Amino acid sequence: MIAEELLLEFGAEVITYAKEDYLFEEGKKAHYYFQVKSGEVKMNNINAQGKEFIQSIFSCPRSFGEPPLFSDIPYPANAIAVTKAEVYRLKKEVFLELLLNYPQVHLSVTRGMAKRLYYKAIMASEISSEDPEHRILTLLDYLKEDVHQLTEPFSFKVNLTRQQIADLSGLRVETVIRATKSLEKKEELKIKNRKLYR
């Protein structure tokens, strides 16, 4: 999202996290801007029954957790490394200074947050009312079109497990398995070597 050279120029650190390491916890104050250099990071919540809901999974060069930096509110979710990950970390005050000095970067960050907010609004509606197949296609189309900017049919290889799709869409794994098989029969998805293509 922000050019690596610019982040380094403003003093960003590159921090390495092991799989399952927390980058920040729900309810804690925001002190840093985070952007993925390599690996994957998820933002999640765990409900009172211990069920995980994944808000999103981020890979290079996406950033995450910015809204609390602008509004001085606690993090609404945890950020956890899904794999070993390298992440740029820039102090909040310096991040805000960077945005003031580079309006185009500010606009890019704002656009990225707006896309994520739009997706969250769509998924909130999906989870409350839509059938499993529709939820899955909405999730995959967001990842294909907005995150990876792909348009050709079946050009998007889904690098998510069935469990991750379930956690991102508010479904059970068994439901995801049934729904994806049904979507393959309807030619909405292709399944090759246990991988989904949209």
* pLDDT one-digit tens code per residue, 74-110: 999 999 999 999 999 999 999 999 999 999 999 999 9
Percent of the chain with pLDDT over 70: 99
Percent of the chain with pLDDT over 90: 78
Region 107-134: mean pLDDT is 85
**C-alpha distances in angstroms, 160 versus 39, 53, 140, 143?**
13, 14, 10, 11
pLDDT at 17 exceeding the cut of 90: yes
pLDDT at 165 exceeding the cut of 90: yes
Structural domains of the chain ordered from first start? 4-102 (2.60.120.10), 130-197 (1.10.10.10)
Among 12-26, 90-104, 153-167, which is the least confidently predicted range? Answer: 153-167
The pLDDT value given to residue 50: 85
The pLDDT value given to residue 105: 97
Q: Is pTM beyond 0.85 here?
A: no
Region 12-39: mean pLDDT is 97
Do the beta carbons of residue 35 and residue 69 sit within 8 Å?
Answer: no
- For residue 119, name the pLDDT band (cuts at 50, 70, 90): confident
The pLDDT value given to residue 59: 93
Region 152-169: mean pLDDT is 93
Residues ≥6 apart with Cβ < 8 Å to 91: 11, 31, 32, 33
Distance, CA of 192 to chain centre = 24
Alpha-carbon gap, residue 137 to 117, rounded angstroms: 18
Alpha-carbon gap, residue 142 to 65, rounded angstroms: 19
The pLDDT value given to residue 110: 95
The pLDDT value given to residue 12: 98
Which residue in 105, 94, 101, 116 sits closest to 33, CA to CA? 94
- For residue 191, name the pLDDT band (cuts at 50, 70, 90): very high
Region 139-161: mean pLDDT is 91
Helix H segments across 23-152? 67-71, 92-101, 103-129, 132-141
